[in-house]
Amino acid sequence: MEDDVLFREIELNGAKVAEIVLNRPDKGNALTFEMLDALSVFCRQVARSQDIRAVVIRGNGRFFCTGGDIKAWGSLTPTEMGQSWILRGIEVLDQIASLPQPVIAALNGHTLGGGLELALAADLRIAVKTAKIGMPEVGLGMIAGWGGVRRMAETVGVARAREFTLLGAPITAEKAETWGLLHAVTEDAAAMEAQIQAWLERLVTNAPIAMALTKGLLRTMHADMRQAFASAAAHAAGTEDCREGVLAFREKRKPVYRNL
């Protein structure tokens, strides 16, 4: 069976660029426990490398990533949700955010929920114009528990983060760019690749240690919120509304929430 996460190194102007590809296109590249483990392994490999100067994360197929696979978390107990799924996801996304190399998230298609949280862990984000960007978790009785709520607020401001996370409705890539959530939007995939190439050519000429130190300084604004997110996700997972949201998703119907 083909791996759900692929890793390769590409030569560019005498340096190396790592490419991580979410490779579950028939499932919208939805993340599983196994995919989180693979991302963690690749992050450790990249972090140890003296040769890799930048990283690109992309999705195979029509989507970048549609979030955490509901089959992976939908049946977990509240404790399992907080301790196993949420804390593990936060750990892996923090590994990505903590890489000494600059990370580019290439949003080749719709980017939702945990997929957006993954993209928010990157330093630069680019999307094709047709991509929709969203955090729909509240519609499932859940929260964006991998630190995405905080990263969203830090990126676009609290007022816009409230609109985005509480309404749960996706926005266009162009609107996401005006908010500062995306650094570039392109007409199509070919134009996106051209822009990524231009970024990479600049990044591999910059001093690696200076970029790593700069990233470290930027990270000082992040407080450790892992336990808070795990506790909130566990609380949400234990509600009747969350059970109804998951069931409705599986039955392909509109959920009926009772605030329980």
Task: State the catalytic residues.
Answer: 117, 137
| DSSP sequence for 174-200 | HHHHHHTS-SEEESSHHHHHHHHHHHH
| Tokens encoding 88 | 């593990």
Q: Is 7 exposed, middle or buried (0-12, 13-18, 19+ CB in 10 A)?
A: middle
Nearest to 142 by CA among 242, 256, 2: 242
**What is the enclosing helix (H) or strand (E) of 69?**
none
β-strands 52-59, 184-186: how paired?
unpaired
Could you give the 3-state DSSP secondary structure of residue 101?
coil
